Every structure is written in structure tokens, then in C-alpha cells.
Amino acid sequence: MHAFWERVTEGMALQQLWGQFISEAKASYRLYSADVDWEEVGRVRTPVRRFLRSVWAVFVAMLMKLSPSRRVLLLLAIVLLVANIRFKAPSAPGSFNITWLGVVILFVLLALELADRVTMKRDLQIAREIQEWLVPSEPPSLPGLDIAFATRPQNTVAGDYYDAFARPGSAGAGAAPGLLAVADVAGKSVPAALLMATFQASLRALAATPATLGEIVTGLDRYCRAHSLEGQRFTTAFVAEIHTTTLKMVYVNAGHNDPVLRRPSGEIERLDIGGPPFGVPLFSEDQASYHAGQAQF
């Protein structure tokens, strides 16, 4: 029995289990309450009716998350559990209760929802593995530079992106400069991850040409605006080109959190020169311009 309990709880204490339940309950409530018209609920005058109206609204929001067939089954199970329906067979004495049928239906619905969850989790894990293939697992070898990186997404998949590679297709003589990129697509989960993948492909394609950093940035902005869903999926990014012979960095900050350059003396420099995030709607031509900053290592 103890081994079974350890397997069910995965070794978690009761306090940890309760904390996990509270966290999941809050997340579920936020999901369902987002579909509730709270202004309509607020127009109910009496507190008791307002409470009942809010409970009903959340229940309907939960119900509509199911497929039509599962909605019918859930309503049938509730009726069977609440109504306490009894039947009397003509050829048998007494009557029998069919409340147990409601429990069976609820168990079947639970099994169906769990199957969907397992399938979705498996698909998300596959998407996560594909996303990991799109970012470098090992830092590139660039003369005079030591590069390291790490990431930890909040969800299984997300719109976070980083990259570092040499630019063999860039113009000019000498050693190929290195290109660094850090980006974040607005939103979470699969939609953001898909846009991140297309952003990575665009960056790699542009970087393989003799285009300057300014032309790369302009091309990325043009692509993101064409696939931004009317500005709902913009991308913040920091793109930099480091010339390994001179250790000079040219960069553009497209609405991203300002990277911090810390010098050996302890001096802090924020790399904040650039422009707006990629993909935001344009209200003027000046908004599309990006300025490049420089830093010397």
C-alpha cells in the first residue's frame, strides 16, 4: 500500500500536493473565467443571485470547452446524479436506482479527457524536441571570443530564441564575423514556437547573403509584419554582428530588454540603440527605421 501511495504521489508531501492543486485550480479558473461576460454578471443586483449567476457562467464556460457529444454526456451524468431516478421492472418486484450510471458516464468522460491530455502532451514534447533542434546545442568557435548560452522556457514550447554562428556569406575580407541573436515572440506555447521557427529560418537565410546588419534587420521586420496577425504576434529581438579581427560589435535592439555589457573594470553599458519590435503595425515610415549601435570589446 505504501509503495502504491508513493507511486501515485511521486513522493510529494501532502503540503506539496495541496500547493500543486491550488496552482492548477487557479490556472483552470483563469482559463474558464476568460470566456465569462463579467459585465453582465455584475448587472445582477442581489449578491446571492450574482453569485449563482457567476457559478452558472463559469459552468457554461467549462461545458463549452468540451465537444458537443461530451457536453451531452456530462449533462446526462449530472441529471442522473441529482435526480435520483428509480425504475421498476414490470416482471420484477421492487425498483432499482440508476444513479450509478451517472458515475460510469463521468468516469468515461474522465478517461476520454485524459487520453486527449496524454496525446497533447506527447505532441508538445515532440514540438519541444524540434524547437531544441532549431537552436545551437554547442557554441560556435570564433577567434578571440568565448560564447556560452542557456535557456529555460516557462512552457513546454515557447517563442524564446537564441542563436550564434559565423557569417560566411557576409561581405568584406578577413575572418567571417559572428552573428548573435536573442529574440522572443509575443505569446506562449505552439503559436509562438511556430513563429519562432520561421523567424530563425529568415535570420539564417538573410545572414547567409552579403547583406549588411541593417539590411538583415529590415528584412526581418518586413517578414514579421507580413506574419504578425495584425500586430498580435510581434517579435522583440537583439541582433549583433561581431567582427572577430577588431572585436567591434555592431548591434540593433528591436524592442528587446536591454542587454548589459559588463567591462573588466566593472563599468556597465546598456545596449539600447535600435528601434521598435519587429512586426508592429506601422503608423509612419519613420517608425520602420532602425539605428545601429556600436561597442568595442
Q: What is the pLDDT of residue 239?
A: 92
pTM of the model: 0.64
Cell numbers 529581438: residue = 237
| Burial category of 23 from C-beta neighbours within 10 Å (exposed 0-12, middle 13-18, buried 19 and up) | exposed
Q: What is the pLDDT of residue 90?
A: 59
Rg (CA), the chain: 28
Domains of the chain: residue spans and CATH: 2-131 (no CATH), 137-296 (3.60.40.10)
Give the E-state strand segments of the chain in sequence order.
86-87, 96-97, 158-166, 178-188, 235-243, 248-254, 260-262, 268-270, 274-275, 293-296
Which residue positions in the chain have pLDDT lower than 50? 171-173
Strand partners, 162: 182
Q: How far apart are CA 68 and CA 103, in angstroms?
A: 19
